[in-house]
Amino acid sequence: MTEADAPHGDVRDGPAADEPPRASSHTPLTRRPRAAVTMHEVAARARVSIKTVSNVINGYPHIRPATKERVEKAIQDLGYKVNASARNLRRGRAGVIGLALPELALPYFAELADEVMKAAERHGVSVLIEHTGAQRSREFDVLRSDRRSLTDGLLFSPLEMAQDDVGALTVDYPLVLLGERLFGGPVDHVTMATVEGARAATAHLIERGARRIAVIGAHEGEVVGSAALRLNGYRQALKEAGIPMRPELVREAGLWHRSTGADATRQLLDDGVEFDAVFGLNDALALGALHELHQRHVDVPGRVKVIGFDDIEDAAFSAPTLSTISPGKQQIARTAVDFLMERIGTPELLLGPRYVEAAFFVVARESTGG
């Protein structure tokens, strides 16, 4: 490709640039600004009424085969496509659901979005993704946004709203809540058994012989939310094993990124605190810990065992591979989409909010000794 030899950042005209820019209506240019074909035109060409065309398109069963064929040919010939705006206006339905999440660049959410899109496809609807950037104000915005009228309902995964904000979830469109940030709202809620998951993670470390288990990613003062719930599970597991909880082993990390996980681990090491395991409250934190431990030549799992939470794809490919808790992402996505579509399909559904916790399982890998 000679194109690829151009200097970087260059802007050039492509192959068709030398065509005369005459405005003749049939210039075989990039694109004809021809108005879209409508049902009327199809109907005219097929010599039927517009209603018949509609019937054919919507698979209405009782149509004479000959008619149907004629219509289909006309559609082909004219390259007719239904106009979604018109259809939606008429049907009062957009065929699109919204998915509001913090950031696609966070692997957990990218993988969740992936599953949501697959689930949506099974229902024949599209997904409009919106970022909140993990900003509280934008989480509120999303709930009231003009974009809501582009969608029939919303899957909402807040990260910054607090329990007090649960009132904001009272909206006049179908809404399904995801995650562990808000509970008891007036909407369907799909999440995972977080406390148990964290308990199982901690128990796994204990079972492998760990006794001084550091945990990173705590959020001081939080009472619900992933951090609080997972920390809870950690506490429960320690208690069950009769291991005292040592505050110096609990480390904060505001954003759950690798960098903050590495930072927390660095401090742990610098502070000279003794520990034989690290529980990263999510995989990114745990991977950051793995990174830092490697830098300091601390043997994993020999001297320190590490476990994460979320089972993102990377966990299987770090060195050493990372043990983690696998939440049922697919189950969560499917259930959430099912609920949403059910609410959309039957707005008169007088059914109280549902609450579902997806199952999880422990994935034991090298970082805890396989």
Partner DNA sequence: TTGTAGGCGTTATCAG
Partner DNA sequence: CTGATAACGCCTACAA
Query: What part of residues 281-320 is at the interface with a copy of itself (CB under 8 A)?
Result: 287-288, 290-291, 294-295, 313-314, 316-320
Q: Give yes or no for a contact between 25 and 34, defined as CB atoms under 8 angstroms apart.
A: no
Residue 214, token pair as written in the block: 């550091």
The stretch near a copy of itself (CB under 8 A) out of 4-12, 46-54, 204-212, 272-280 is 4-12
How many whole angstroms separate alpha carbon 151 and alpha carbon 154?
7
Q: What separation in angstroms does the CA of 280 have from each of 153, 242, 349?
A: 34, 21, 41
Size of the site for a copy of itself (CB under 8 A): 113
Q: Give yes or no for a contact between 245 and 254, defined as CB atoms under 8 angstroms apart.
A: no
Toward a copy of itself, which CB reaches closer, 277 or 322? 322
Examine residue 122 and tell whether it contacts DNA (CB under 7 A). Answer: no
* Cβ atoms within 10 Å of 262's Cβ, excluding its own: 23
Which of 135, 132, 133 lies closest to 156, judged by CA? Answer: 132
The stretch near a copy of itself (CB under 8 A) out of 43-51, 128-136, 211-219, 264-272 is 128-136
Examine residue 337 and tell whether it contacts a copy of itself (CB under 8 A). Answer: no
Residue carrying the six token digits 């065929």? 95
Which of 113, 120, 56 lies closest to 94, judged by CA? Answer: 120
Site string for a copy of itself, 61-100 (x = CB under 8 A): ------------------x-xxxxxx-xx----xxx----
Toward DNA, which CB reaches closer, 159 or 344? 344
Examine residue 147 and tell whether it contacts DNA (CB under 7 A). Answer: no
Handedness of CA 138, 139, 144, 150 (dihedral sign): positive
Q: In 3-state terms, what secondary structure has residue 280? A: strand
Toward DNA, which CB reaches closer, 92 or 272? 92
Site string for DNA, 51-90 (x = CB under 7 A): xx-xx-xx-x-xxx-xxx-----------xxxx--xx-xx
Rule CB under 7 A: which residues touch DNA? 35-36, 38-40, 47-52, 54-55, 57-58, 60, 62-64, 66-68, 80-83, 86-87, 89-92
